[in-house]
């Protein structure tokens, strides 16, 4: 295992690279970062640290390109997020740490090796449901941004508009 300072520097570097990857191609950086983080920090810290990194990364990209944002979808999404966070709160701490690793690994494999994400565009029809599902899941697996891709594509909303 690396010393904390070495690991911290590597994690910051990986975070920068994966954030750049998402900014450049629109997807994938969060899952890449999530796959690397358990090598540097305890599994119980992965989700909150990843959430903080993603908040800063996504917030900075929003700040640079806020004029392109589709603000009209935000209220429905936020309502779903609040409900997902409220319900998810009751499940926090209920899973033993060894199961968190298993859940996280399964989630990474499922979204990278199956077509489950592509099929979600047909399941989720509005942003309140997406907000609920993303927020609830993010409390346990951290990276759920890919879930919104199919619905954004179905609505013809992409990073170039």
What pLDDT digit, counting tens, does each position of 94-104 carry? 877 778 778 87
Please compute the mean of the pLDDT values over residues 63-87 and round it to a whole number.
88
Residue 40 forms part of a structural domain: yes
Nearest to 58 by CA among 118, 142, 1: 142
Residue 22 forms part of a structural domain: yes
Residue 43 forms part of a structural domain: yes
Spatial separation of the C-alpha atoms in residues 85 and 32, rounded to whole Å: 24
The confidence band for 28, taking pLDDT boundaries of 50, 70 and 90, is confident
CA distances in angstroms from 57 to 27, 73, 101, listed in the order given: 13, 20, 24
Please compute the mean of the pLDDT values over residues 142-147 and round it to a whole number.
72
Q: Which residue has the higher pLDDT, 124 or 57?
A: 57
Residue 159 forms part of a structural domain: no
pLDDT at 161 over 50: no
Q: How many domains does the chain have?
A: 1
Instruction: Answer yes or no: are the C-beta atoms of 141 and 33 closer than 8 Å.
Output: no
State pLDDT tens for residues 35-46.
888 888 887 788
pTM of the predicted model, to two decimals?
A: 0.71
Residue 117 forms part of a structural domain: yes
The boundaries of the domain holding residue 45 are 4-154
Report DSSP state, residue 28.
Answer: S
């Amino acid at each position: 295992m690396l010393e904390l300072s070495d690991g911290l520097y590597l994690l910051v570097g990986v975070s920068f690279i994966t954030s750049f990857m998402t900014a450049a191609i629109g997807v994938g950086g969060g899952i890449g970062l999530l796959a690397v983080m358990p090598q540097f920090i305890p599994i119980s810290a992965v989700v909150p640290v990843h959430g903080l990194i993603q908040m800063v990364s996504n917030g900075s990209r929003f700040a640079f390109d806020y004029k392109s944002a589709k603000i009209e979808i935000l209220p429905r999404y936020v309502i779903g997020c609040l409900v997902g966070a409220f319900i998810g709160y009751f499940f926090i701490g209920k899973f033993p740490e060894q199961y968190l690793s298993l859940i996280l690994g399964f989630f990474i494999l499922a979204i990278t090796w199956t077509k489950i994400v592509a099929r979600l565009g047909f399941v989720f029809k509005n942003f309140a449901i997406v907000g609920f599902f993303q927020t609830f899941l993010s409390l346990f697996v951290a990276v759920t941004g890919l879930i919104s891709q199919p619905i954004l594509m179905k609505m013809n909303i992409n990073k170039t508009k």
